[in-house]
Every structure is written in structure tokens, then in C-alpha cells.
């Protein structure tokens, strides 16, 4: 070829590559080698990539990095069209293994389908709505939370809120159920594992008092809310760090869902505060009186303090004197009787 075509061809090639580069962005910052994020297509509620499959991100924010969205987290691991894990140094979210799905299906059919439908979609075999809601798209964390805290399977279906009780299913069974339900419509959040080692309890305390104390009380003792609902006690040591993080990210029942307003680091800080401080109160002042505040303190002050001192008064003093049988004692504003005084003076002489 003539060398005079070299320069224009070169410039044309560079221009083509440059425009290709602008149209097709490069790989996202991903620690794993398997991600193929170039192929992200973001619909309002689902993200589909070849490596991760289709993931519903309805339950997490699309705005803030490291707030529970796998595609906006520092690290992400996908394999064969399944989202395996994601997160950062503060929290690692992971889906249960694919091998759990079949066991989960059986378990679900036995334990949950009567209320949630055979396909966990809130529709019964007769086509009517079941008493339990549609579980498709809730994500593994939600299922794991409700089952591992014992709220599900619910015993009183008429109650306003399912109450926490010792779980009938093991932690592994909870994950099995989570695996199967998630497989129907893969969603996030996945099951979080907060790393508490680097967490800051002080930041946790600050955020807890702003976001959580309004329902759970500043000491985490929980209380009854409106219309038969309640915020459970967090002082119970059976509440695990994982459950705290799950609740914060999934917003179970009437609890709000904290997504983009709390980063993973902040959620880990709150979890550290709850599990390390609230569940292990030091109480340097002595017996904590249940942590319900001045009402209990008032009872103690009145019953034990004033009551105890009144008992001591009872010991020191006398009982009521016996009543006179004769009507010697006078009532009304009589002036003192000089004759009586004389009596005393005379009787004094008789004392030996």
C-alpha cells in the first residue's frame, strides 16, 4: 500500500477505538475475575448480568455505594449466573449455597406452604389469597431473619405481628428455606455477616439513638407500640449480630427498612453497639432495675426506701396508746387547769 494512507488510516483507527471505548465502558472495579459487568443492563428493579443472572434490587438502594446493593459494593462474587456474595470490609452478604435449594423446597412444602402457597407466592391451590404474603423477591436475608428468630412458622396467625420465640428450625434449615425462596426470584439483600472487629461503638451509639431508640428504647429493652405492634427487646443475647443486620436492611413487619441512609460500615457499627454494649451492660452503679427507667426507680425508692425507713420508725416508736375508758381526756379549746398543776406539785412530794 502507499504510505500516504498510513496516517489517515491510523487516525481513523484511533477514532474508531476511542468511540468504541466511549460507547462500551470498561469493567467495573471488581476484585473477582469472573465478573462480566460490561453487560450490566439496569432496569428499575432488576439487574441482569451473564455472571450473576437476574437479581432483583428492589429492596436496596441504587444510589449510595456500600449500602447493600451488590452492584455498588466494593466486592462481588458471581458464578454461573448466580450471585454468591458481595459486600465490603464491614459486612459480607452471601446467598446460601445452591445445594440447599432442593432441601429447602421440601422443607417449605412441609412447613410454610399452608400459609404462603406452594410456590411461596401468596396464592393457595384454589387460587385464593393465602393468609401469608407473597415471598417471591424478598431475598435470602428476609427469610433467614424470620425463620431464625422463630417468628416463622407463626403459631398465632391472627396476631397483629408474629412474635419472637425459640426457633423450631435449625439455622441450616433456615438457610435452606432461604435458598429455595430466593431461587424463585433471586433478590437482595443476601444474608449479611457483619465484621465487628473494626466497628466503632461510638458511631453505633450515635446512630442507634437517632434511628433505633425511638422504637426499641435507648437501652434496647423494647416496648409495645401502636395497635398491638411491638418493638422487641435487643438486650436479649439470643439476638445475634446477623439478625440485627438482617433486620436493619430488610425492615421486617413494621420496622422501617434502612437502605441508602445507612452504609454497611454504619450498620456494622450499630450492630456492634447492640451486641457488645446493649447486650452486655456493665451497670457500674449496681442492680439495673430492668432498665425501664424512673418508674422502677420510683417504686424502689418508695417501697424499699420510704417503706423500709417507715418500718424502722415502727420499731423505734410506739404503737397507739390504749384509749382511756373514763372520759378524763378533754376535747375543745380548754385552757390548762391550774388545779391539775397543783396535783402534780403535791404528788411530786410523795416520790421517794
Partner 1 sequence: MSNTAATTKRNKKQALGPYGRVGQAVGELDDRLGVAKGGRVFLDKIFPDHWSFMLGEISLYSFVVLMATGVFLSLYFIPSTQQVIYHGSYKPLDGQWVSEAYKSTVSISFDVRGGLLIRQMHHWAADIFTGSIIVHMARIFFTGAFRKPRELNWIIGTTMLILAILEGFIGYSLPDDLISGTGLRIGYSIAESIPFVGSYLVTFLWGGQFPGTGIIIPRFFIIHVLIIPLVLIGLLSAHLGLLVRQKHTQFKGEGRTENNVVGSPMFPTFMAKTTGFLFMVTAATAILGAFTQINPIWQFGSYDASKISYAVQPDWYMGWLDGALRIMPSWELAFWGHTVPLEVFLPAVIFPGIVFQIAIMWPLIERRFTGDIAMHNLLDRPRDRPKRTAFGVAFFAMLFTLFAASSTDVLANFFHISLNVVLWFFRFAFFIVPIISGLVAYQLCREMQGVHDIGQRKRALIVHFSPEGEYSTVPSATRPDDERHELDPEPVPVRIDIEPLSNGGIRQPESSPTGARQVNR
Partner 2 sequence: MSDADHQPSRTRVPMPVAALSDPHMGDAAKNPERTEQIIAVILFLAIVFFGVAGAAYWQNWSDWIFGGALGIGLFALGFGLTAWGKYLMPQGPFVEERHTLASTPEERDVMSAALVERSAVVVKRRRVLGGLFAAGAGVFGIVAAFPLIRSLGPVPGTSLETTGWRKGMVLVDSSGRPVRKETLVVGGIMTVYPKDTVNTETGFISDQGQAVDQTVLIRVSDQPFTTEPGRENWTPAGYVAYSKVCTHLGCPVGLYEQQLELLVCPCHQSMFNVRNGAVPQFGPAPRPLPQMYLGFNDDGYLIAMAPYDQAIGPGFWERNS
Q: Which of 166, 139, 141 is nearest to 151 (CA)?
A: 166
Site for partner 1 in 248-277 (CB under 8 A): 273, 277
- CA-based max dimension of the chain: 155
Report residue 86: phi and psi, to 5°: -160, 175
Binding site partner of 63, from partner 2, partner 1, none, Cβ cut-off 5-8 A by kind: partner 2
Three-class secondary structure of residue 77 per DSSP? strand
> Minimum distance between the CB of residue 89 and partner 1, rounded to whole angstroms?
20
d(CA 34, CA 57): 20
Q: Does 225 sit near partner 1 (CB under 8 A)?
A: yes
Q: Which is nearer to partner 2, 123 or 255 (CB)?
A: 255
Nearer to partner 2, 105 or 216 (CB): 216
Residues 6+ apart with CB under 8 A from 33: none
Are the C-beta atoms of 34 and 51 separated by less than 8 Å? yes
Among 3, 8, 26, 335, binds partner 1 (CB under 8 A): 335
Which residues are at the interface with partner 2 (CB under 8 A)? Answer: 58-64, 206-207, 210-211, 213-215, 225-227, 229, 251, 253-261, 284-286, 316, 335-338, 340-342, 344-345, 348-349, 351-352
Partner touching 309 among partner 2, partner 1, none, CB below 5 to 8 Å by kind: partner 1
Q: Does 308 bind partner 1 (CB under 8 A)?
A: yes
Of residues 35 and 241, the one with the C-beta less far from partner 1: 241
Least distance between partner 2 and beta carbon 2 (Å): 53
Q: Which lies closer to partner 2 via its Cβ, residue 72 or residue 107?
A: 72
Give me the residue label for grid cell 421440601. Answer: 106
Query: CA-to-CA distance for 68 and 62, rounded, in angstroms?
Result: 9
Determine the distance from the C-alpha atom of residue 248 to the mean position of all C-alpha atoms in its chain, rounded to a whole number.
5
**Please, what is the minimum distance in Å from the beta carbon of residue 119 to partner 2?**
23
Identify which of residues 156 and 334 has a Cβ nearer to partner 2 in the complex. Answer: 334
Count of residues making up the chain: 352
Name the helix (H) or strand (E) containing 230: strand 230-231
Residue 129 DSSP SS3: strand
CB of 339 to partner 1, least distance (A): 12
CB of 28 to partner 2, least distance (A): 18
Residue 251 contact, options partner 1, partner 2, none, Cβ 5-8 Å cut-off depending on partner type: partner 2
Which position has the grid cell 431473619? 145
Least distance CB 18 / partner 1 (angstroms): 48
Please list every residue from 313 through 332 that binds partner 1, using CB under 8 A. 313-324, 328-332
Q: How near is the Cβ of 114 to partner 1 at its closest, in Å?
A: 25
Binding piece for partner 1, criterion CB under 8 A, among 77-85, 103-111, 144-152, 200-208? 200-208
Q: 258-283 burial, b if ≥16 CB within 10 A, otherwise e?
A: bbeebbbbbbbbbbbbbbebbbeeee
- Residues 347 and 336: their CA atoms lie apart, in Å, by 18
Amino acid at each position: 500500500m502507499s504510505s500516504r494512507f498510513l496516517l489517515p488510516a491510523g487516525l481513523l483507527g484511533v477514532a474508531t477505538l476511542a468511540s468504541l471505548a466511549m460507547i462500551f465502558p470498561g469493567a467495573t472495579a471488581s476484585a473477582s475475575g469472573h465478573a462480566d459487568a460490561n453487560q450490566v443492563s439496569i432496569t428499575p428493579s432488576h439487574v441482569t448480568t451473564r455472571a450473576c443472572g437476574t437479581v432483583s434490587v428492589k429492596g436496596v438502594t441504587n444510589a449510595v455505594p456500600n449500602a447493600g446493593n451488590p452492584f455498588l459494593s466494593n466486592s462481588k462474587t458471581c458464578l454461573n449466573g448466580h450471585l454468591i456474595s458481595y459486600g465490603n470490609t464491614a459486612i459480607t452478604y452471601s446467598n446460601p449455597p445452591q445445594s440447599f435449594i432442593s432441601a429447602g423446597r421440601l422443607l417449605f412444602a412441609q412447613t410454610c406452604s399452608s400459609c404462603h402457597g406452594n410456590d411461596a407466592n401468596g396464592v393457595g391451590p384454589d387460587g385464593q389469597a393465602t393468609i401469608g404474603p407473597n415471598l417471591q423477591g424478598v431475598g435470602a436475608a428476609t427469610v433467614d431473619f424470620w425463620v431464625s428468630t422463630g417468628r416463622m412458622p407463626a403459631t398465632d396467625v391472627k396476631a397483629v405481628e408474629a412474635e419472637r420465640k425459640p426457633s423450631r428450625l435449625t439455622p441450616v434449615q433456615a438457610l435452606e428455606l432461604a435458598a429455595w425462596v430466593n431461587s424463585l426470584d433471586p433478590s437482595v439483600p443476601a444474608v449479611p455477616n457483619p465484621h465487628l472487629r473494626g466497628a466503632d461503638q461510638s458511631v453505633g451509639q450515635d446512630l442507634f439513638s437517632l434511628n433505633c431508640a425511638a422504637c426499641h428504647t435507648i437501652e434496647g429493652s423494647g416496648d409495645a407500640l401502636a395497635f398491638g405492634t411491638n418493638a422487641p427487646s435487643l438486650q436479649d443475647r439470643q439476638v445475634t449480630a446477623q439478625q440485627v443486620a438482617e433486620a436493619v436492611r430488610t425492615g421486617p413487619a413494621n420496622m422501617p427498612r434502612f437502605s441508602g441512609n445507612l452504609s454497611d460500615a454504619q450498620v456494622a457499627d450499630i450492630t456492634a453497639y447492640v451486641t457488645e454494649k446493649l447486650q452486655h451492660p456493665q451497670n457500674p452503679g449496681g442492680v439495673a432495675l430492668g432498665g425501664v427507667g424512673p418508674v422502677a426507680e420510683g417504686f424502689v425508692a418508695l417501697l424499699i426506701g420510704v417503706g423500709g425507713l417507715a418500718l424502722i420508725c415502727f420499731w423505734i416508736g410506739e404503737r397507739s396508746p390504749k384509749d382511756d375508758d373514763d372520759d378524763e381526756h378533754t376535747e375543745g379549746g380548754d385552757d390548762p387547769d391550774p388545779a391539775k398543776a397543783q396535783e402534780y406539785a403535791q404528788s411530786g412530794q410523795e416520790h421517794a
